[in-house]
Amino acid sequence: MLDEMTTAIITGAAGNIAANLVSGHVDSLRQWIGKAFGSGSDMPLQALQDDLAALRAQLRSDRDVQVRWVMLLTRLLHTSPNARPFIEEMARQPAASNLHIGSQTNNGSGTFVGGNNYGPITVPSSQGA
């Protein structure tokens, strides 16, 4: 049985893993898994890929993913107590965000200066996988 503090740390880390998967920041998760689980285990990387595919296909909720990672992190902590600093690191990290705020100033003559523009706006999407 885990103490209350350890349970909170694991739950926070699992929540951040789920949030990063939902927002498409898979590369940083792969790096973290390599540090926390070690390079010898393919199971957590496969779990990550499975969760990503299930989220994209809406077969699993972010809550389901969080619960799965609570179990994986609990097992990791039982088998490798030295992984605790990596779990704490994930619990402390704010979930990555896709939000970018910028501004644009248009000077001189041209399409955007002094007039209305009509038509669609194309925003490139980023794929985390």
- Average pLDDT over every residue of 72-80: 94
Place of tokens 């910028």: 102
Residues 4-38 have pLDDT tens digits of 999 999 999 999 999 999 888 888 899 889 889 88
Q: How many CB atoms lie within 10 A of CB 51?
A: 24
Cβ neighbourhood burial of 124 (10 Å; 0-12, 13-18, 19+): exposed
Distances (CA, A) of 75 to 4, 10, 15, 99, 101: 16, 11, 16, 34, 39
Distances (CA, A) of 104 to 32, 79, 125: 35, 52, 20
Looking at per-residue confidence, does 70 or 109 come out higher? 70
Work out the mean pLDDT of the chain and round it to a whole number: 82
Cβ neighbourhood burial of 58 (10 Å; 0-12, 13-18, 19+): exposed
Query: pTM of the predicted model, to two decimals?
Result: 0.70
Q: How far apart are CA 46 and CA 101, in angstroms?
A: 34
Q: How far apart are CA 93 and CA 104, in angstroms?
A: 30
